[in-house]
Structure 1
Amino acid sequence: MSEERSITDLFLDQTFKLYKCNQSLVTISASTNVLAADQVAYLKENIAKYLYSVYRRRRDESREGEIIPRYSRADDIEPELKITFGSRNTSFENRIYNIQYLIIRTSDRSLQLPRQIFIFINRDGVDSDGKSFNTIVLNRQFNSSSSSVQVNNFIISLLENMPDIETGLVMKEYRLNEKYIETAINELSNSIKDLKDTRVGEEVRLMDGLLGDLEITYSSESKSSTFSNGPVINGNLRNIVINIPQKDITEFINKFEKESEHGEKQTKLQLISEINGFLYDNSSINFENLAIVKFVSSVVNISAEGKIKISGAKIAVGDESVKDRIVWFLLESLYNEKALARQ
């Protein structure tokens, strides 16, 4: 696996929570993009102390307990920790991105440290001055158990207090603008509409089955840009969930292409607009006025609360450029939307 390929694969098959940050983890202009030895030691020492306190508490609360304690002090845990840092530049549509990733894991599963992944994305030419939040951070999420959340939050606090950084890191939760999901899916579907899988005897249009069955969650409140905020359907209704089978998606695409051939449509596919039009015709509810807060498909799951997951198995079709195109298109869209994100 090439380095470029491994960077792309790092984003696949994992749920990430989005943050925006005032800078990359390591100064991009530094002569060596690596974590300093004292920074690695700082992370290992403090994570080991945290894990040891959890280990001691769990051992003391256990009725059976250990006859011989596996760890007698925090220092015993440090050798079990592995910290990997990497920095790569990659390009998408003539724009260069600096990708820095930090992976923290332990060889002892009993320590209950889910593999921590932090990916910092900064675009070339955009200043990382420590004041503007021009860096996107993707943080791997796990189950919602309190222990997983606590250790994740603890490591975030460590990063924000990392030594030998001129301006301390500040990470803010990155909630997606109410228009983002709709725009991203429209653009993504248009981007992959004409992709073909040529591995079989005949060309097969990927779009027909790539998205799979869709689940779209609409807020019951109107888009702030359209009306004043507030319920537009029923004050007791929180969200509306719409499920759309894959075969209907194919019909939307075929209908669009036939109308485009006769000059009745623009040349760009607006999938969400097609879906909203169908829903209006069959329900008399104007979904165009409702914000999409969650989109679930076989390719990507996105929620307005700032979570994203890209399916590697589903997009591992055709040549590698298909996977790269989808992954980097979504990352580019996240970067562009950042300026509009709720503070």
Structure 2
Amino acid sequence: MKRSTDKTWLTTFQQRYSVKERIFLFYMAFFAALALLTIVANILSGFDFSFNYKWMAISTFCTVLGLLALKRIRTELVHRVGIYGLCLVVLPVSWLSSAGLVSPSMVYSVVALLLINFLLAGIERLALNTVFLGVNLALISLYHVQPELFRTLSAEEQFLDWMVNIPLLFVFTALLLATLERAYEREREVNIEKTRKLAILSRTDSLTGLQNRRHLNEDIGDRIREWQNKGTPFSIIVLDVDYFKQFNDAYGHLQGDKCLQRIASLLQAAVSRSDDNVYRFGGEEFLLLLKETDRAGALSFARRLEADIARAAIPHKQSGVSSVITASMGIATCDTRNADSQTLLKQADTALYQAKDSGRNRIVCFEG
């Protein structure tokens, strides 16, 4: 139960705060904890308490900024105060009060450099990088010119200083990179999912949920290539709802939309094979792409559709052929005369208009 709660809290935290916000909070927490750890170490080592004033100020500075960032109060301003304060005040002062180049203090500048480049951008990032580099070079030069300004450590103290700080830096950097890696993976997964949904939306009719005609030519092209390579036939059926304008006039467009949705559901239910597709071809027209189906098979399938629509018994008092909704259908089957999508669609459309001209509520196969 606890693991589930922890996971929920982490998910909520990740959803609430952006990657940049989480990185800033991570930095503030690290430097606040480092300052507190140093205070404890100084007390245990018997140093004069005055050594802790600087670390108390750093801990307070980072804690206050971390809390403000956590509550999302003036976030951008808080980020800038934290970055500039850390790079131009906290780290230089800490370095001046350390043992200079014989201590690992300067290494923390590399960590701060990551923060600059994660959170800032453009001219501001370039400017602060330049100033920060200048500050660090000035501190190194100062140590060379006046080393007496810095603390002097014995060999044992230097050893302990490096042994404590370097593992801390390694752990911090590893956690930071792990955070970024996970954030990158999440962003990548989100982008993949968005791309997938956009791809589906680009192919989907918003009213019926069927595929639209956007990629129809491409899909027919795939079936044609399969027919050319394997000799497997396929057919298309273009279906037009009879007297649909009159239906809209009699019952209203809302009922017209519901009628199209009902027809779409019937067509989708009739298609049982995963490689067969149903499209909203436009307005009240639908198209079915039937893989491995010859003319006889397509005609048999169309008759089943005709029966399904009749059983649905959607009232249509203004129809010229029935008291319920009916449909006219045109069928075309791929052969050597129509081995391209446009010709095949034209043949199915011709058959459809023959069905409509013959009185509607008809099924016609293109004969050529």
TM range (shorter): under 0.3
| TM-score in terms of structure 2 length | 0.24
Higher Rg: 2
Q: Which has the higher contact order (CA 8 A, sep 6+)?
A: 1
Please report the TM-score for the alignment, with normalisation by the length of structure 1: 0.25
